[in-house]
Chain A
Amino acid sequence: MGMTMVEKILAKATNQAAVKAGDVLEPRVDMAMSHENGALVINQFSEIYKDTGLEAKVWDPSRIAIIFDHRVPAESSKTAGNQKKIRDFVAKQGIGKFHDIRGDGGGICHQILPEYGYVRPGNVVVGTDSHTTSHGALGAFSFGIGATEMAAVWALGRVLNVEVPGTIKVVCEGKFKRHVAPKDLILHLIGKLTSEGANFKVIEFHGPAIEQMSTSGRLVICNMTVEAGATSGIVPPDAETVRYLQEEAGVKDKLDLLAPDADAVYDQVITINVSKLQPQIACPHTVDNVKPIKEVAGIKLNQIVIGSCTNGRLDDLAIAAKILKGKKVAKGTRMLIFPASTRIYLQALKKGYITTFMEAGAVVMNSGCGPCLGVHQGALADGDVALATTNRNFKGRMGNPNAEVFLCSPAVAAASAITGVITDPRKGGK
């Protein structure tokens, strides 16, 4: 019987010839990522070692990455204290893959991991963040865990009692039309599957539309698989994966381009023709409340946000800059843009995108997660309506349970910024 991507990776990570969905394993971990919630991981880690007489040393400091992104620079003394606690721990344990608050080498964890080549095809990656699903874009099995689970990983170097997930195969045919993006594909898929449709499963992406998609786009679709309940998303690694890791991440070592077997067993196969897709909008207050743009066009907006681990990369900013060039953000609408990393910020500066955004009236913020989850800047007032390229629109998500959040692609966000209402970018001139 053939194996899916995740079965192959987990067989390798447990030194077995074959594993199948439902098996319970303890795979070794190649990369363990945390952000500011590392402060809680440290607390739980020392709890594990309490009264054992054992020295509390992490299993392998080179396989741990810690990136400050949720509240940067610190918005409160409490956060600053957590960050300090992590800094001390990182120094003591010799953790080298540490990204502090800096204009060079900072950014959102799910951009830093690919950008610095911390993830390779075939890896097992865990992160104390639900959007750790992102790194499936590079052919890794990558999933979110809680802080206590991470503390155990830091101690043991493996994840305990993992049940091999079943896999949903999604075949994406056709070619994206102008102003239709990977974001529209994943929103459409989440709408189809519902918020729990992929619970405890992996979504494996295939087809010509995926083969032609850049790593940036693959990060978008894998990032949001968790919104359908998936443990992870994954794209079989290919020439584009190699290009990205070598050219953009500077990876030099040999890459293992594993592929699923032709006779792998899938729980479900879904085919989507992306040629037929139109821009999609996730409406309040669940991500699976997805509608084609024509059904919600014209809704008045108070705040537009472009950024996050979902859609804050250079190609996202390029699309937005092209639409906003020489235009103005509508009166009565605020526009916030936060690039996914400082490297992307610098690239956008050099390309003139930042100038375009500021001349249009957008506020360009430093790289981080803050506005997406309402923890640091960009909070909404009661009754406010926001349109964002981020990943969640739950009640309270942008810091206020009495506000509404719609989710969309960068093209829709930029076109809507000019009009101040939800606007189909295909209707504009650019």
Chain B
Amino acid sequence: MAKVVFKVGDDVSTDIIYPGRFMATVLPTETPQFAFIDYPDFNAKVKKKEYPPQSIIVAGKNFGCGSSREQAASCLKGPDFVVIARNFSRIFLQNAINLGLKMVICPAIEASEGDELELTADQVINKTSGKSFPVVALPKARQVIIDAGGLIPFTRKLLLDAKDKR
């Protein structure tokens, strides 16, 4: 069980998650300091590491639309957030899977900041409101990358397997 610590609306773009003006910072270890920086209260708590791992961000439709900048996923992966959205934009979804950021597609999600949620394989249970909401599976094609813990270990294994075959 984990708490909803931040709630945002529909079409939250990468310009909001990780504004372009900080794009010169690229390393995943350095990007969390700029996560949602135009939301100063949330950003300050991220910087002070006040949110426990697996804290939940709830979003509307099309979360992560816009730029392909991977910082938008890595800045949320660093503090180990879980993002629950009605749906995600394509490139953000792939970046998040590649980096091992946990995402849940939940088209009917209703939750407020402070609510306690339990995540199961097929639903999100809002313990505060008592309601539960079905989950849509992430793209099948990408499950092997999720299972490998991200694209870096997955690709590394492919290269090593190819080496062994030679």
Task: Using CB atoms, name the residue of chain A closest to B39.
Answer: A401
Taking a contact as CB atoms closer than 8 A, the residue among A52, A82, A127 that contacts B24 in the complex is A82
Q: Measured between alpha carbons, how far is A50 from B155 in the docked complex, in Å?
A: 11
Partner of B89, one of A78, A229, A373, A397: A229
Those of B125-166 within 8 Å (CB) of chain A: 139-142, 144-145, 150-152, 154-156, 158-160, 163
Say how far A127's CB is from chain B's closest CB, in angstroms: 8
Q: Quick check: A151 and B15 within 8 Å, CB to CB?
A: no
> Is A256 in contact with chain B by the CB < 8 A criterion?
no
Question: A355 at interface (Cβ–Cβ under 8 A)?
Answer: no
Q: Which residues on B sit within 8 Å (CB–CB) of A395?
A: 13, 15-16, 38
Q: Which residues of B contact A127 (CB under 8 A)?
A: 68
Q: Is the CB of B21 within 8 A of A375?
A: yes
Contacting pair A229 B26 (CB below 8 A): no
CA–CA, A79 to B15, complex, Å?
Answer: 19
A195 touching B27, Cβ below 8 Å: no
Stretch at the interface among A40-48, A301-309, A412-420: A40-48
The CA of A392 and the CA of B11, in the complex, are separated in Å by: 12
CA distance A155 to B91 in the complex (A): 20
Q: A76-B24, A163-B141, A375-B20 are in contact. Are A128 and B68 (CB under 8 A)?
A: yes
What is the number of residues of chain B that contact chain A, defined by CB distance less than 8 Å?
Answer: 47
Does any Cβ of A come within 8 Å of B19's Cβ? yes
Report the separation of the CA atoms of residues A44 and B71 in the bound assembly, to the nearest whole angstrom: 13
List residues of chain B with CB within 8 A of the CB of A129: 67-68
Instruction: Tell me, in angstroms, the Cα distance from A36 to B20 when the chains sit together.
Output: 12
Picked from A147, A160, A195, A396, the residue with its CB within 8 Å of the CB of B65 is A195
Min distance, Cβ A379 to any Cβ of chain B, angstroms: 8
Q: With A146-B95, A146-B98, A147-B70 known to touch, is A374 a contact of B155 (CB < 8 Å)?
A: no
| Residue in B21, B66, B91, B141 whose beta carbon sits within 8 Å of that of A392 in the complex | B66
Across the interface, do A394 and B91 meet the contact criterion of CB distance under 8 Å? no
Looking at chain B's contact residues, the main secondary structure is helix
Partner of B151, one of A71, A128, A149: A149
Of all chain A residues, the one with the shortest Cβ separation from B26 is A40
Assess whether A148 is in contact with B95, with CB atoms less than 8 Å apart: yes
Q: Which of A153-180 contact B (CB under 8 A)?
A: 155-156, 160-163
Q: A69-103 interface mask toward B, CB cutoff 8 Å, 1 = contact, 0 = none?
A: 01100001011001000000000000000000000
- Give the shortest distance, in Å, between A153 (CB) and chain B (any CB): 9
Q: How far is the CA of A151 from the CA of B69 in the complex (A)?
A: 14
**Is A144 part of the contact surface with B, judged by Cβ < 8 Å?**
yes
Are B94 and A145 interface neighbours, CB within 8 A? yes
A196 touches B24 (CB 8 A): no
Q: How far is the CB of B140 from chain A (nearest CB, A)?
A: 7
Check: A152 CB closer than 8 A to any chain B CB.
Answer: yes
**CB neighbours of A130 from chain B (8 A):** 66-68, 91
B68 / chain A contacts, CB cutoff of 8 Å: 127-130, 132, 144-146
CA–CA, A27 to B139, complex, Å?
18
Contact A52 B20, beta carbon cutoff 8 Å: no
Name the A residues within 8 Å of B25 (CB-CB): 78
Contact status of A37 and B23, CB under 8 A, knowing A48-B156, A199-B87: yes
B145 touches A160 (CB 8 A): yes
CB contacts (< 8 Å) of A24 on chain B: these are 140-141
Taking CB atoms and an 8 Å cut-off, the chain A residues in 342-388 that contact chain B are 373-375, 379
Name the residue in A70, A149, A375 with the highest tally of chain B Cβ atoms < 10 Å from its Cβ: A149
List B contacts of A399 (CB < 8 A): 19-21
What chain A residues lie within 8 Å of B102 (beta carbons)? none
- Are A196 and B151 also in contact (CB < 8 A) when A162-B141, A396-B16 are? no
Which has the most chain A C-beta neighbours within 10 Å: B24, B150, B158?
B24
Q: Report the separation of the CA atoms of residues A160 and B143 in the bound assembly, to the nearest whole angstrom.
A: 12
B73 to chain A, nearest CB (A): 7
Give the shortest distance, in Å, between A376 (CB) and chain B (any CB): 9
B99 sits at the interface (CB 8 A)? yes
The one of A36, A76, A145, A401 that contacts B16, using a Cβ cutoff of 8 Å: A401
Q: List 9 A-B contacts (CB under 8 A).
A: A40-B71, A146-B68, A148-B99, A148-B151, A195-B11, A196-B89, A396-B19, A397-B20, A401-B38
| B binding-site residues for A, Cβ under 8 Å | 11, 13, 15-16, 19-21, 23-27, 38, 61-62, 65-71, 73, 87, 89-91, 94-95, 98-99, 139-142, 144-145, 150-152, 154-156, 158-160, 163
Other 20 A-B pairs with CB < 8 A, given A40-B26, A128-B68, A229-B90: A36-B23, A50-B156, A82-B26, A145-B91, A148-B98, A149-B98, A151-B152, A152-B154, A156-B155, A160-B151, A161-B141, A161-B145, A162-B141, A231-B90, A374-B15, A375-B20, A375-B23, A392-B66, A394-B15, A395-B38
